[in-house]
């Protein structure tokens, strides 16, 4: 008779913590969905057209996509916001926030860089140790 042993892995409970960080410098420049829409609309408007023809091409492109001129103007304004803000206003005014996914990305990059630095440092120490024994 054989008995199978099972191992139970202990997992610490997850605790969510809200923190506030203050940065001396932060470059947001997010790529908004509106930016992509403005780019796609602008592809239908040839830059060498005269002003009247550009306006006609723009209106035709907007109609094709189901947008009004007023909605387009709002999209252009929203696409130029430099940061994420709490109230998500059209003009980008208000308290700047850094989304959780951005902080997670920063954290992962920092870990990757620090582990590479540590690996290189450890390899140098081993190499120096080997040479000193020769």
Residues 89 and 35 in one domain: yes
Residues 41 and 70 in one domain: yes
Per DSSP, 82 falls in state -
Both tokens of 21, joined, read 């960080």
Torsions phi, psi for 97 (to 5 deg): -125, 155
CB 35 within 8 A of CB 79: yes
Report yes or no on 61 lying in a domain: yes
DSSP string of 43-63, one letter each residue: TTS-TTS-HHHHHHHHHHHHH
The domain in which residue 109 lies consists of 98-134
What percent of the chain lies above the pLDDT cut of 70?
78
Q: Are residues 72 and 36 in the same domain?
A: yes
pLDDT, residue 38, reads 96
* Residue 66 falls inside a structural domain: yes
Task: Reply yes or no on whether the pLDDT at 71 is more than 80.
Answer: yes
Query: Residue 83: which pLDDT band, with cuts at 50, 70 and 90?
Result: confident
Same domain flag for 106 and 76: no
Are 56 and 114 contained in the same domain?
no
CA dist list (Å): 5 to 8, 50, 119: 10, 80, 37
Q: Cα–chain-centroid distance for residue 92? A: 17
Mean per-residue pLDDT, 14-34 = 79
72 in any annotated domain: yes
Query: Would you say 69 and 59 are in contact if contact means Cβ atoms under 8 Å apart?
Result: yes
Specify the number of domains making up the chain.
2
The lowest-confidence range among 4-13, 34-43, 65-74 is 4-13
């Amino acid at each position: 008779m054989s008995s199978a042993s099972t191992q139970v892995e202990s997992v610490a409970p997850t605790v969510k913590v809200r923190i506030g960080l203050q940065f001396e410098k932060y470059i947001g420049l997010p790529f908004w969905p509106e930016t992509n829409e403005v780019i796609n609309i602008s592809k239908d408007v040839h830059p060498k057209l005269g002003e009247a023809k550009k306006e006609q091409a723009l209106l035709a492109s907007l109609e094709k996509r189901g947008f009004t001129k007023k909605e387009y103007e709002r999209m252009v304004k929203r696409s130029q916001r430099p940061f994420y803000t709490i109230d998500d206003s059209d003009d980008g005014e208000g308290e700047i926030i850094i989304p959780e996914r951005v902080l997670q990305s920063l954290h992962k990059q920092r870990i990757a860089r620090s582990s590479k630095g540590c690996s290189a440092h450890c390899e140098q120490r081993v190499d120096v140790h080997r040479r000193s024994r020769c």
